[in-house]
């Protein structure tokens, strides 16, 4: 009796079609990460609703059941060890986005990518997307080209989406992309493993930002005045960062909290 099953792990499944016959209406997490050449097609014989689907990043997502597609509210495109070779590439990311654009009820998306080309026009069909986590392995020969792709994505997201929470993790550590700081709808912004330099001065363009966190970041400048100039900001968190001698992280937080109390 698996009617109360909360998590189902089908990793390592090499079959081209996976039939799931058991009633699993209470399922919350389905992990279909696999090491085969093709992501399995999933066929569910019973209804299922509001759950998380996890799949491995270098396989195309294939789902042939419309009710199943509508039930997915969280999609995690996994990269188990952040190994460069299994990040999404230009060869397979467009196919994957075309598939995920049919998952109309996705609220949460976590994805590992090599290029911002992942966010093509099909991505804007995710009208209910609220939380986006980007892990980018940024070994780009032409960074200017990739930054142009990011500019295009941010413009489209501002016009078509309503992303409330943005989590950005960059590998290796390098400057946070300036365009990312123009995503106007974001209220919660987590920045991980980035270099914070002069481009950070435009963050007040995030006109709804209420919470900001930095972890494992390198601060090339003192950002106190920039942060205190974000009128909507209510709280901030610093963890394991490298900062200039004249930048007091604790003092910035205290000043911000005092400002919000007024």
- pLDDT, residue 60, reads 46
Answer yes or no: is 150 within a domain.
Answer: no
Does a structural domain hold residue 81? yes
Cis peptide before 218 (omega within 30 of 0): no
Number of domains forming the structure of the chain: 1
Cβ 61 vs Cβ 54: under 8 Å: no
Give pLDDT, residue 88: 43
Assigned domain for 50 exists: yes
Nearest Cα residue to 158 out of 191, 186, 200, 132: 186
Give dist(CA 135, CA 171) in Å, integer. Answer: 8
Q: Is 52 among the domain residues?
A: yes
What sections of 47-104 are H helices per DSSP?
66-71, 90-100
For residues 56 and 59, what is the distance between their CA atoms, to the nearest angstrom?
A: 6
Distance CA 38, CA 18 (A): 12
d(CA 5, CA 66): 22
Asked if residue 149 belongs to a domain, the reply is: no
pLDDT in the model for residue 21: 54
Which segments of 36-156 are extended strands (E)? 41-44, 51-56, 72-78, 108-113, 131-137
What pLDDT score was predicted for residue 85?
36
**What is the reported pLDDT for 127?**
87
Q: Among 47, 11, 43, which residue's Cα sits nearest to residue 30?
A: 11
Range of the domain at 114: 1-118
Answer whether residue 155 is part of any domain: no
**What is the reported pLDDT for 86?**
37
pLDDT of residue 53: 66
Note whether residue 59 is domain-resident.
yes
> Which portions of the chain are predicted below pLDDT 70?
1-4, 6-69, 71, 77-101, 121, 138-143, 145, 262
- Note whether residue 6 is domain-resident: yes
Q: What is the pLDDT of residues 190-246, one digit of tens each?
A: 999 999 999 999 999 999 999 999 999 999 999 999 999 999 999 999 999 999 999
Which among 203, 205, 207 is positioned nearest to 194, based on CA atoms?
Answer: 203
> CA–CA separation, 64 vs 119, rounded Å?
23
User: Does the model's pTM come out above 0.85?
Assistant: no
């Amino acid at each position: 009796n698996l009617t109360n099953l909360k998590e189902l792990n089908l990793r390592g499944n090499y079959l081209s079609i996976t039939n799931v016959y058991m009633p699993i209406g209470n399922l919350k997490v389905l992990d279909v990460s696999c090491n085969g050449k093709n992501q399995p097609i999933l066929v569910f014989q019973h209804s299922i609703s509001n759950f998380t689907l996890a799949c491995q990043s270098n396989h195309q997502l294939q789902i042939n059941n419309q009710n199943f597609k509508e039930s997915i509210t969280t999609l995690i495109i996994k990269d188990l060890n952040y190994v460069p070779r299994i990040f999404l590439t230009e060869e397979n990311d467009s196919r994957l986005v075309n598939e995920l654009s049919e998952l109309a009820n996705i609220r949460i998306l976590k994805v590992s990518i090599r290029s911002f080309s992942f966010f093509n026009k099909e991505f804007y069909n995710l009208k209910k997307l609220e939380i986006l986590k980007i892990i980018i392995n940024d070994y780009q020969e032409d960074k200017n080209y990739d930054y142009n792709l990011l500019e295009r994505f941010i413009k489209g997201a501002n016009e078509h989406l309503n992303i409330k929470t943005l989590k950005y993790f960059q590998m290796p550590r390098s400057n946070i992309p300036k365009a990312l700081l123009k995503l106007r709808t974001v209220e919660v912004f987590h920045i991980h493993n980035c270099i914070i330099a002069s481009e950070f001065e435009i963050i007040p363009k995030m006109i709804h930002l209420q919470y900001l966190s930095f972890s494992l970041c390198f601060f090339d400048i003192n950002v106190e005045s920039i942060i205190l100039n974000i009128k909507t900001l209510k709280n901030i968190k610093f963890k394991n960062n490298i900062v200039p001698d004249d930048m007091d992280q604790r003092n910035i937080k205290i000043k911000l909290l005092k400002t919000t109390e007024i």
